[in-house]
A and B are shown apart, each in its own frame.
Chain A
């Protein structure tokens, strides 16, 4: 056992230019550069990406699953934010 566990990094990969980075998984590494190298070796062995972001997992601030209902509740009853809420009269195009 090591004296100190290497920190965890979350890995985000851009599969091709024009797409956003997507979460792929995580790796352990002793430092930032090693995290990049490990992410490359773990997640892009078959050219799955052209760009990698690694972020220390400890720095990710996540919403609390137990609070999901209350947290997202404000958007639930606002159906008028969707275009389908509005009836477009027959004969009107390009709206």
Chain B
């Protein structure tokens, strides 16, 4: 799973908040980055670098947490016990990824409560992709193959990100994502060998997930000017369009293997470049989903709020038990 957090403007930076950072400090910091040194949590860093990372890592974490919902929708209806335990394991991984990432963000001085609060209040963003519904079992295959495939494309360069705790969390996440993508493809391979109805179900899922998956890489490079700073800081290593191209090049042959037709009339292989050319993304749809008006935004947030509220008594009970044990030990 992945975040589009890098492509949003830093509000504080825009408001021109006064921070005492000398030109020497900034230059020395950039020198470290340019020398491929990793920045660790207690090192000096520009406030804007810290805030950019807090925003990106927390949004990445939120995406993992919200990302459990579309798949969770099919847990009780998985077609076999085998598929069910696999899906359960995958969703459990997403929760784990969220936790690795929240922990990495906390090293930058933001509290877990603050981040969770921002998600629940709707203030924080998460990846646009999780605001689409999972209508059939084939959607679970499509998510693993396409959504996790796109996430892997995005996350592999993040393993070399300049901020040590984020890079280390990404190494762990990437190792686990490989299983996610394969289980999704495995579901589709099975459907591709099935009857006409199953093949049609797979094509329908592909038609609905293809374009939103391409949107996961964020705005096109020409519209994503504020990611230049993230590139200079080596938080981001490869541009949105480059990653999107890599994804299309890797995925189209896989779609052909499954007997799928890519829902893009403009798609064709450029023999000279060896790359696939593809049609224009519906950026208005992307902006609408990011702005909160996707098919499932309200449902996703409401469900997370309810889950958090429903869990309140568990957190309180654990705290009460711990306090009682401590009091007994002290007596």
**Which of B89, B178, B257 contacts A92, CB < 8 Å?**
B257
Q: How far is the CB of B299 from chain A (nearest CB, A)?
A: 29
The answer to whether A80 and B257 touch across the interface, beta carbons within 8 angstroms, is no
Q: Digitize B40-63: 1 where CB-to-A-CB distance is under 8 Å, 0 elsewhere.
A: 101100000000000000000000
**Which of B40, B167, B176, B189 contacts A14, CB < 8 Å?**
B40
For window 21-74 of B, CB contacts with A under 8 Å fall at: 37-40, 42-43
A42 to B129, CA, bound (A): 51
The answer to whether A83 and B178 touch across the interface, beta carbons within 8 angstroms, is yes
With contact pairs A14-B40, A51-B40 given, residues A81 and B168 touching in the complex (Cβ less than 8 Å)? no
With contact pairs A81-B179, A88-B185 given, residues A17 and B39 touching in the complex (Cβ less than 8 Å)? yes
Q: How far is the CB of A87 from chain B (nearest CB, A)?
A: 8
The answer to whether A82 and B38 touch across the interface, beta carbons within 8 angstroms, is no
**Which of A14, A78, A86 contacts B182, CB < 8 Å?**
A86
For window 23-81 of A, CB contacts with B under 8 Å fall at: 51, 78, 80-81
A82 to B186, CA, bound (A): 13
The answer to whether B85 and A80 touch across the interface, beta carbons within 8 angstroms, is yes
The secondary-structure label for the interface of chain B is helix
The answer to whether A80 and B89 touch across the interface, beta carbons within 8 angstroms, is yes
A95 to B243, CA, bound (A): 16
Question: Given the complex, which residues of B lie within 8 Å of A95, measured CB to CB?
Answer: 149, 181-182, 185, 254
Question: Given the complex, which residues of A lie within 8 Å of B250, measured CB to CB?
Answer: 93-94
A82 to B93, CA, bound (A): 12
Nearest A residue to B153 by beta-carbon distance?
A94
The secondary-structure label for the interface of chain A is loop
A9 to B47, CA, bound (A): 33
The answer to whether A86 and B37 touch across the interface, beta carbons within 8 angstroms, is no
A17 to B149, CA, bound (A): 30
The answer to whether B179 and A78 touch across the interface, beta carbons within 8 angstroms, is no
Q: Does B260 contact A (CB under 8 A)?
A: no
Q: How far is the CB of A17 from chain B (nearest CB, A)?
A: 4
Q: Does B253 contact A (CB under 8 A)?
A: yes
Nearest B residue to A80 by beta-carbon distance?
B86
Q: Does B292 contact A (CB under 8 A)?
A: no
Q: How far is the CB of B59 from chain A (nearest CB, A)?
A: 23
The 18 listed contacts between A and B (C-beta, < 8 Å) are A14-B40, A17-B39, A18-B37, A18-B40, A20-B164, A80-B89, A81-B179, A83-B178, A83-B179, A85-B179, A86-B182, A88-B185, A89-B189, A92-B253, A93-B254, A94-B251, A94-B254, A95-B149
